[in-house]
Structure 1
């Protein structure tokens, strides 16, 4: 009988991952999971104190190299500071997790400033980071981009139009990038469902929605991080242009 090859590895040894919005919740869990899988990190978030604590914790637990950039990627200056950090060494994996909702408002009430603010974080920053890193990844012969999505980008959520539209655009950007970057660089989207840092409902809205989730509960950040490790690893070497939904089976 023909010998089958070993299963693909879920390890990330020898790689460096840039993760935005890495100081809390899903971003922090992805950073920790990547580090435990062997990846060095460049972590980005606005709060320097919180980001520093995350970096210190991950270094102590894993021993990987963790570089910190405390900045707001929605601003030109903030994005420039991330770009300068990228000059210090190559990045193999980009995780675009930073996002803002822009609050609750109707389309009619949302002014241009709000739309621009939401799009600056949720769409323009991921696009600009991808533009910066894709040539480097292509030259290196491999690379991976993961864009964090939202159910609001798949179907309308009341009073979250700017956020939902920005995430819908991010999904289409993912598909375009996947086509243009293939076959060297893989580009996928990851869509969490209801998630809280301790795995319990955060508010009445969460409690109301739990009834529509077949798993009957809120997700934990590490459950999203596990999916991100898969997408970044060689186990997903034939996966690109896809949307991986991790939401406990909830129909949108």
Structure 2
């Protein structure tokens, strides 16, 4: 019997990452768990080994630190058993753009975009060469909605969606599945860490429900999975409208509404 591929999960010590670890362990996958909190990682790893008889390696790493990031990249490049990357590590922060410091904004961008794209870049060539594997990038519905007021966070998640869609177009013909998962508000520690009171949110999804829905999309090989979206036809309509827009903006002629006399 073929041994299931190993799954590397970032941000695995708690929340979405920890539930992904539990679900893939239940499916019989060996794991590589990555996060900053070594104590939590070790406790989770021990529990999963005992409950599911899978191999679980722990990589303590802060993905905003160059040395730690390079260590995880090397593991993704060199460990041929890793066939699935769950790019989950991320952060948010409270306050408006002008209230946030330049350093805090840069830190957020570093974790939510730079680390994510570097890890995808580390594993993608190997998966494409093998003609198999998957990259799952955790985005957010906030990336679709500047109206939500989380400007930098939303911008990083818009990047995650665009990157995932572009990678899907490039890698799917080579046998590599790429999925973007777009949660809405989910009950995780990201809110406390960002200084946001979760009790101020009117609706919030339980993390187990979020991951289970995302895995339904994973098994269906959806390019984009939006667990809270009730009417999937709305996403299809948005994509169709976007494709229609592309047909209009590939022209070499200035639009009539912008033509006029130059003063």
CA contact (8 A) 1:20 1:96 kept: yes
Q: Are 2:142 and 1:152 equivalent residues in the alignment?
A: yes
Residue in 1 that maps onto 2:198: 203
The Cα shift of 1:232 comes to: 4.2
Aligned mates of 1:120, 1:160 — CA distance in 2: 16
The Cα shift of 1:150 comes to: 1.2
CA contact (8 A) 1:13 1:37 kept: no
Q: 2:82 aligns to what SS in structure 1?
A: coil
Residue in 1 that maps onto 2:210: 224
2:162 to 150, 169, 172: 172
Once the two structures are superposed, residues 44-94 of structure 1 have per-residue CA deviations (whole angstroms, 9 ceiling, x without a partner) of: 111000111111111111111111111111221111121243334431111
The structure-2 alpha-carbon separation of the partners of 1:134 and 1:62, relative to structure 1 and needing over 3 Å to count, comes to: same
Structure 2 unmatched runs, 5+: 190-196, 235-263
Aligned mates of 1:157, 1:48 — CA distance in 2: 37
Residue in 1 that maps onto 2:228: 247
The Cα shift of 1:100 comes to: 0.8
Residue in 1 that maps onto 2:254: none
CA contact (8 A) 2:142 2:184 kept: no
Q: 1:134 aligns to what SS in structure 2?
A: helix
Q: 2:128 aligns to what SS in structure 1?
A: helix
TM-score (norm 2): 0.77
Q: 1:182 aligns to what SS in structure 2?
A: helix
Aligned mates of 2:187, 2:53 — CA distance in 1: 27
Higher mean Cα deviation, 108-117 or 40-49?
Answer: 108-117
Q: Are 2:118 and 1:128 equivalent residues in the alignment?
A: yes
The structure-2 alpha-carbon separation of the partners of 1:197 and 1:204, relative to structure 1 and needing over 3 Å to count, comes to: closer
Residue in 1 that maps onto 2:13: 23
Q: 1:165 aligns to what SS in structure 2?
A: helix
1:193 to 155, 161, 184: 184
Q: Are 2:78 and 1:90 equivalent residues in the alignment?
A: no
The Cα shift of 1:231 comes to: 4.3
Coordinate RMSD, CA, aligned = 2.5
Once the two structures are superposed, residues 215-251 of structure 1 have per-residue CA deviations (whole angstroms, 9 ceiling, x without a partner) of: xxx3222222223433444x42xx3xx3211127499
Aligned mates of 1:204, 1:225 — CA distance in 2: 22
Once the two structures are superposed, residues 94-146 of structure 1 have per-residue CA deviations (whole angstroms, 9 ceiling, x without a partner) of: 11111011x22222333432222111111111111111101110121111111
Residue in 1 that maps onto 2:240: none
More helix by share: 2
The structure-2 alpha-carbon separation of the partners of 1:195 and 1:165, relative to structure 1 and needing over 3 Å to count, comes to: same
